[in-house]
Every structure is written in structure tokens, then in C-alpha cells.
């Protein structure tokens, strides 16, 4: 049955697409200690 399946050349990411909880926590703590009022402005 496997010889009849069509193989697609799908590229897979080696890195996870999400931030780790520890990294996100660090970003949020740094944001609250900064002078920025808008997280989008701070993060960009």
C-alpha cells in the first residue's frame, strides 16, 4: 500500500515555533520594569 502513496516534499522546522515559558516570563518582567506603556512598542 505504501508504494501507492504520493510523497510530498514538506519542509519541517527544526525549531519549535513557540517561546519557552521561561523566556516569555523574562520578557514580561522586563516589560513591567521598563518605561513603556504599550507591549507591542516595547517588544518591537
Residue 23 forms part of a structural domain: yes
pLDDT at 11: 63
Q: Going residue by residue through the chain (44 aa), what tens digit of pLDDT does each one get?
A: 555 555 566 666 666 667 888 988 998 898 889 888 887 887 77
Residue 32 forms part of a structural domain: yes
Per-residue exposure over 12-29, b if at least 16 CB sit within 10 Å of its own CB, e if not? eeeeeeeeeeeeeeeeee
Q: Comparing C-alpha atoms, which of 19, 35, 16 is closest to residue 27?
A: 19
Residue 6 forms part of a structural domain: no
Residue 4 forms part of a structural domain: no
Residue 38 forms part of a structural domain: yes
pTM for this model (two decimals): 0.51
pLDDT at 7: 58
Residue 27 forms part of a structural domain: yes
Q: Which domain holds residue 43?
A: 19-44
pLDDT at 24: 87
State the CB neighbour count (10 A cutoff) for residue 39: 13
pLDDT at 18: 79
Domain count, the chain: 1
Amino acid at each position: 500500500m505504501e508504494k501507492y502513496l504520493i510523497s510530498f516534499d514538506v519542509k519541517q522546522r527544526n525549531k519549535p515555533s513557540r517561546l519557552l515559558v521561561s523566556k516569555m516570563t523574562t520578557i514580561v518582567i522586563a516589560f513591567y520594569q521598563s518605561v513603556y506603556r504599550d507591549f507591542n512598542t516595547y517588544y518591537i
